[in-house]
Amino acid sequence: MSAPNDAHCVIVGIDVDKDSADVCLLPEGRRWTFREPAEMVQELIQQQPSLVVIEATGGYERRWVAPLLDAGICVAVVNPKRIRDFARAMGYLAKTDAIDAGVIAEYGRVAQPRPLEKMPAKQAELQELVNRRRQLLGMRTMEQNRKGSAISTATRRSVEKILKAFERELDHLETAITELLESDDDWRDKVRLLRDVPGVGPITGVTLVAEVPELGKLNRQEIAALVGVAPYNRDSGQFKGKRFIAGGRSHVRSVLYLAALSASRHNPLVRRFAERLKATGKPPKVRITACARKLLVILNALLKTKNPWDPLRCVQGT
């Protein structure tokens, strides 16, 4: 599926919340409010849109996106910050669900965001399990912090019970993730290839397979931009600003940073790269970001060629 190029094609903007979806169709300007995805899909099939644009809303959009993709409709999910920046740039100061749907549709017409590819059910299940594990780890950390500040014995016992429950649930999730990975030959082979690279642990391998299915299918520039470790210039006239990273998949980037810290010590390619950056006076944050990008490019080349880890071969592939 590809984004439309015709300025007169039908673009649909959808603003979703917990219970409903407001829909705006351009260029006609028609609007609907739907309570059920099936009703919306039935209506949009009749309208034959070139692109449907939905704002990401913390997961609420998923129940609307999946049936659209199943119906063969071209769908793009966009960052809400981009929508709000676009609205301000266009002078839309008021904000209601109906107005937001119109703004989203207008953004889709102007920006033509990249459509989603339909995600297989097993890929979605793996991604959801990995995301749930990440949520539990965050809640466990909060409880551990509360335990450290608890004074009364009853409070500490309460926190300890919750922590034990988290540990049990994490064990169940990790078992489910392992079983799902082992059930797919392609996933199992990918994780093993990634794990062979010094610095890449089990969490990094599983996260990349679950949340970056594009790994091994894109070039080095595209994969770096997708994850959010590609530097962007900030220059104007004679002013040369610092390069910075933006966007991408923040959860993947966080895991990749930790892997880069390990790789900068134990991976010969990344270690030499980090040492060169340090010798030129690059600050630590710049070095670790560059190492994360270097490691990602290495892993991308590894999955593209499907060859086992070999420092000499990876130098040529990156």
* Closest C-alpha among 198, 219, 13, 216 to residue 99: 13
pLDDT confidence of residue 1: 44
Does residue 305 lie within any of the structural domains?
A: yes
For residue 2, tell me if it sits in a domain: no
Same domain flag for 104 and 149: no
Closest CA to 315 of 276, 278, 268, 283: 268
Mean pLDDT to the nearest integer, 211-227: 91
pLDDT the model gives residue 234 = 73
Q: Is residue 278 part of a domain?
A: yes
Distance CA(44)–CA(52), nearest Å, equals 9
pLDDT in tens, 14-58: 999 888 999 999 999 999 999 999 999 999 999 999 999 999 887
Name the pLDDT band for 233 (thresholds 50, 70, 90): confident
For residue 83, is it within any domain?
Answer: yes
Could you read off the pLDDT of 70-101 as tens digits, one per residue? 899 999 999 898 999 999 999 988 888 889 99
Residue 316 has pLDDT above 60, yes or no: no
Q: Is residue 76 part of a domain?
A: yes
In this structure, the answer to whether residues 132 and 102 fall within a common structural domain is no
Does residue 119 belong to any structural domain of this protein?
no
Number of domains in the chain: 3
Domain C-terminal end among 183, 207, 223: 183
Can you read off the two tokens belonging to residue 146? 């509360």
- Outline where 54-96 has alpha helix (H): 62-70, 80-89
Residue 190 placed within a domain? no
Residues 267 and 206 in one domain: yes
Segment among 12-21, 40-49, 227-236, 276-285 with least mean pLDDT: 227-236
- Mean pLDDT over residues 140-153, rounded? 92
Structural domain boundaries enclosing 71: 11-111
